Amino acid sequence: MRISTKLLTALIALLLGVGGVRAQSSGFNLVVVGDPQPQTEAQITSLEEEIIPQIGAIVEEYKATGYPTAILLTGDVVWDTMKFLPRVKADFEALGVPVYAVIGNHDHNKHHERNQKRAERNFVDTFGSRNIAFMLGETLFVTFDNIDYTAFSGYGEKIDADQLIWLAGVMEEHPDVERVTVCMHASATKFSTGEIKPYIKPVIGIIGDRKINFITGHRHHHDTADHTPAIIEHNVSQVNGNLWYAPIGSDGMPKGVFCIEERNGEWQWHHRILGKRADEPLVVYPVGRVKENEEYVVVKVVGWDDKWTLAWSENGADMGAMEQIEILDPDYMYYVENEANYRKKYMKRLYRSAHTHRHYYRCKPSSSDSRVTITATDRFGRVYTAEI
């Protein structure tokens, strides 16, 4: 007798229920960790002692929901330091949930440039095949290696014919799934134009008429691309700030993880700042704090996409929508200009990587003493408030 995927998922979830927590029949929690990328002993120690324990606290919250919980690493698990691969894997597995990973460009052994199989060997020995398929809730997840290490110099991006053949076989084995999540390191979207990269289109064609969510990393920034109502990309920011040299991303994203929650086939997601609650995505800067916006209260929306709306009130009076602006992140620039103290080449890198982003809003109170209340609503109708 063949057991359906949904029934098997329900049975597993029931068996995993512990401590009086009722296991749910359909759904999951996924904690997506962007590009951990330790290169030195000091960096991997920081990952182990600072970052992973905070991720562990989120995992424990999710375990208490009764839904299966897992972790996904978006590649660049290490920074060319192959010996750290097993250690990072063990560190995350110690949190007590399944850990999945995709291979990044820095997970290829650079001593085997232009030899894809040899360059991948350390990663494959640690995490298994570069292509795996697994079910979470009602969603089929597939992983790809889209880093082409056969390029003459450096690397390119590509999904080869063998991987497409593999995907076609996976889809034949799962004809009834309604959502497929494609996990890989480099983004599916060319964010400068908003277009899907040409080599990704065969993947979409094979998956066919289903919901498709891409989960990627590599760019160290947070971005969301809604291509169609059924195709969306989540490009996840680096968990540790900016390449371990700054405690915040160059686009202003605080250290954090991307969290996906599926309930009865429906998805919701948010970026979770480490050390903060899930309902704290707003960073509010008072009047006088933000350069060239000194007369304004400025708000950063962590995990922003263009479905968010922001409104404000002053001393209890409704003032309408806030004005969206595109600026350099105040916290990132303050760190670079006042606290960073590295060799010249690293300082240049910190300045060069700074770029403007649209996840900022502003309002101009009539007085610096006014009580300003911010009300933000995300694409799922969840409402967040902050007051200053």
**Is residue 242 domain-shared with residue 321, that is, in the same domain?**
no
Share of the chain above pLDDT 70, in %: 93
Give the domain-ending residue among 217, 241, 273.
273
Q: How far is CA 16 from CA 12, 55, 68, 69, in A?
A: 6, 21, 8, 11
For the residues of 277-300, what is the DSSP string, one character each? -TT--EEEE-TT-STT-TTSEEEE
- Find the CATH number of the domain harbouring 256: 3.60.21.10
21-61: pLDDT as tens digits: 334 458 999 999 999 999 999 999 999 999 999 999 999 99
For residues 51, 56, 62, 66, the Cα torsion angle rounded to the nearest 10 degrees is: 160
202-222: pLDDT as tens digits: 999 999 999 999 999 999 999
Q: Give the mean model confidence (pLDDT) for residues 3-13.
A: 40
- The answer to whether 72 and 33 have CB atoms below 8 angstroms apart is yes
Q: Give the mean model confidence (pLDDT) for residues 362-366.
A: 97
Give the domain-ending residue among 273, 305, 327.
273
* pLDDT confidence of residue 25: 57
All residues at 6 or more sequence positions from 136 whose CB lies less than 8 Å from its CB, including other chains: 28, 30, 68, 70, 262
**Is residue 352 domain-shared with residue 371, that is, in the same domain?**
yes
For residues 303, 304, 310, 315, the Cα torsion angle rounded to the nearest 10 degrees is: 40
**Helix (H, G, I), strand (E, B), or coil: what is residue 138?**
coil
Q: Give the mean model confidence (pLDDT) for residues 92-96.
A: 98
For the residues of 212-243, what is the DSSP string, one character each? EEEEE-SSSS-EEEEEETTEEEEEPPPTTSBT
19 band by pLDDT with thresholds 50, 70 and 90 = very low
Query: Is residue 298 pLDDT above 50, yes or no?
Result: yes
**Is residue 214 domain-shared with residue 111, that is, in the same domain?**
yes
279-296: pLDDT as tens digits: 999 999 999 999 999 999
* pLDDT confidence of residue 150: 85
**Is residue 30 domain-shared with residue 173, that is, in the same domain?**
yes
**Is residue 35 domain-shared with residue 96, that is, in the same domain?**
yes
Give the domain-ending residue among 239, 273, 307.
273
Expressed as residue numbers, the domain containing 340 is 282-387
374 band by pLDDT with thresholds 50, 70 and 90 = very high
Q: pTM score, two decimals?
A: 0.91
Count of structural domains, the chain: 2
